Amino acid sequence: MRVSKTMIKNAEDLIQRLNHAGVDVDCETIRAVDKVYPVRISEYYFNLIDWKDPLHCPIYRQCVPDGNELKDSLEADPLNEFTYEVSPFLVHKYYSRAAFFCSNICRMNCRHCTRKNTVMSNRIADKSALGPAVEYIKAHPEVNDLLLTGGDPLALPPDLLEYYLAGFRPVVNTIRIGTRVIVTDPAMITDALCDMLARYHPLWIFTQFNHPREVTKEAAEACDRLQRRGIPLGNQTVFMKGINADADTLTELYTKLIGIRVRPYYLYLCDKVKGTGHFYADYRQGMKVMEQLRYRLPGYAVPRLIIDADGENGGKVSIEQNHILEEADDYLILPGRTEGTTVKYSTVPPRVGTDR
């Protein structure tokens, strides 16, 4: 059975709960932000807040409205995702991949959400959008990977999600689902839901753990239920000031994630989206942290640092640090095995056979 627990769905609910927990909140700010970017928090996620120091807690900051959401001068939709819409709710931006926006609901309205001004406040696909999307993909066989996104596809009624999966399954090689339910309300990942998903292999799931406090026993069990059905799990962390923009936090997060068999995949710089500017952390900080992670973690636990660039040739771009420190005719200087050291690597080709 799908577990549907109570949720905090508006400013008054939230104010009452925070008052009850003894948090001194600015009620008018919460009410004002809620009118623009509504409050929605699962009971589970709310209970992860560190009540000893809530205002600095990374869980609190991801789910409770902040007055800064109304103060930045960023664009509402800098990525213009729907510029590439080829049939209703189907976006074809990358050669072999398309994304279908099937949901505008989530188990939590994350305060840093890239789509807080677009998908999350707009109409969304219904069943009638499936047919044209399938026809487009049939006519474009280069599209062999489909991302179901939103909002959160796993927050949809399972029969509606299955309707979309069944429709797309015959026309693509792989289906990916982007979801945060594993993190924000893991009890929603029921055995029945996992059994249904497993009927549509090859299916991959990408989730978004942003802080080690989110890697709980309940989240680990939800991951295990999916993995036992053969569904590989990847993680896309958002790099955010005040949440995780330092090597210690991310080292702990990625160590925990590989411990529950979730592969760190992308570390995203926060998109410059209206209402999220207070989370933005500079790319130089991201590159510095990545260098530290490379020394601290096994290679498979180190994600790629990614920006989502706007503009004509934009899209997801890796901004890894160039690893060649010096390049000469016959050698390279590369970073050494331990932090702060270098190693010289000869590029003189080996002599073979009769050369001797």
What does the binding site for ligand SF4 look like in residue numbers (CB under 6 A)? 106, 108-110, 113, 115, 150-152, 180
Nearer CB in complex with ligand SF4: 108/134: 108
> Which CB atom, from 40 or from 251, has the smaller least distance to ligand SF4?
40
Q: Is 14 exposed, middle or buried (0-12, 13-18, 19+ CB in 10 A)?
A: buried
Q: Which is nearer to ligand SF4, 38 or 158 (CB)?
A: 38
Neighbours of 122 (CB within 10 A): 12
Question: Which token pair is 240?
Answer: 């955010």
- Min dist. Cβ of residue 206 to ligand SF4 (A): 11
State the nearest-atom distance from the C-beta of 107 to ligand SF4, in Å: 7
Neighbours of 346 (CB within 10 A): 9
Q: What are 68's strand-pairing partners?
A: none
Q: Is residue 302 within 8 Å of residue 267, measured between CB atoms?
A: no
CB 79 within 8 A of CB 119: no
Cβ distance to ligand SF4 smaller for residue 180 or 274? 180
The residue among 152 and 308 lying less far from ligand SF4, judged by its C-beta, is 152
Q: Torsion-angle region of residue 236: left (phi > 0), alpha (psi -120 to 50) or beta?
A: beta
- Work out how close the CB of 310 gets to ligand SF4 at its nearest, in angstroms, rounded to a whole number: 18
- State the Cα–Cα distance between residues 298 and 231, nearest whole angstrom: 23
Distance of CA 355 to the CA centre of its chain: 55
Q: How far is the CB of 24 from ligand SF4 (least distance, A)?
A: 26
Quote the least distance from Cβ 186 to ligand SF4, whole Å: 13
Which residues are registered as beta bridge partners of 318?
Answer: 306
Minimum CB distance to ligand SF4, residue 2 (Å)? 18
Per 3-state DSSP, the chain is made up of helix, strand and coil in percentages (nearest 5) of 40, 20, 40
